[in-house]
Amino acid sequence: MIRKIFSSRETNVMAKKAKNKKVQIMSFFPIDRFDCECAKDILEWKKKLATSPEKDRASLMSKQGYLTCSHNKEGMRRRVITCKNCKEVLGYCWATDDTLKDWCDFHYIQWSDGEEWHGCFTPHISPITQQLCLECCCGADTRDFSANMTLPGKVAYRIEEKNKIGRKFGEKDSKFQTRIVSANVLPFK
């Protein structure tokens, strides 16, 4: 069963005003492991945006384009991650192979036609394994709930067991597929 996440009224208005009748989002900040060297750059940008007047923030981000992780990518290739269920692109990252064991610089992709959302819903880094875990708007989910302290134990355990199935990248039963793409490909034309 494919889930539908409906758009807000504001998103509907934005989509109607857009040239291509869509609201398209690529994450500005890279998503990385907690100890990645880009954490310092991200913190500086967050401070810069927080101290800038609200009217200037969009312009600053537009001039910069999305931030890239400063991690050494030698031997790595850029990969696109798609949902096996609905075929939507969820994002792009760098890794040496399809298992994404050494992933870095993940940028999620989502879009809305003003009616419902498509693409990556909740990128998440496992607090246990540091593996990239994703949730697609269609309902495919690999997030790691094993360290969750807010859900009742039985609920967290049930969700975790369900989400473990297909979590590993690069395998036949993976919920999300990866393939190599050009290093400079952008998600939206």
Number of helices (H) and strands (E), helices first, in the chain? 4, 9
- pLDDT tens digits, 23-80: 999 999 999 988 888 999 999 999 999 999 999 988 998 898 889 999 999 999 999 9
| Residue 189 in domain | no
| Residue 10 in domain | yes
- The Cα–Cα gap between 68 and 87 comes to 25
| Residue 138 in domain | yes
| Residue 185 in domain | no
* β-bridge partners, 95: 77
* Range of the structural domain that residue 109 is part of: 5-180
pTM of structure: 0.89
Q: What is the pLDDT of residue 65?
A: 86
Q: What is the CA radius of gyration of the chain?
A: 17
Instruction: Give me the number of domains the chain comprises.
Output: 1
What does pLDDT average to over the chain? Answer: 92
Question: pLDDT category, 187, cuts 50, 70, 90?
Answer: confident
| Residue 188 in domain | no
Beta strand segments in the chain, E: 5-6, 23-26, 77-83, 89-95, 104-112, 116-119, 124-125, 132-133, 176-180
Helix axis angle, 54-64 relative to 39-51, nearest 10°?
A: 140
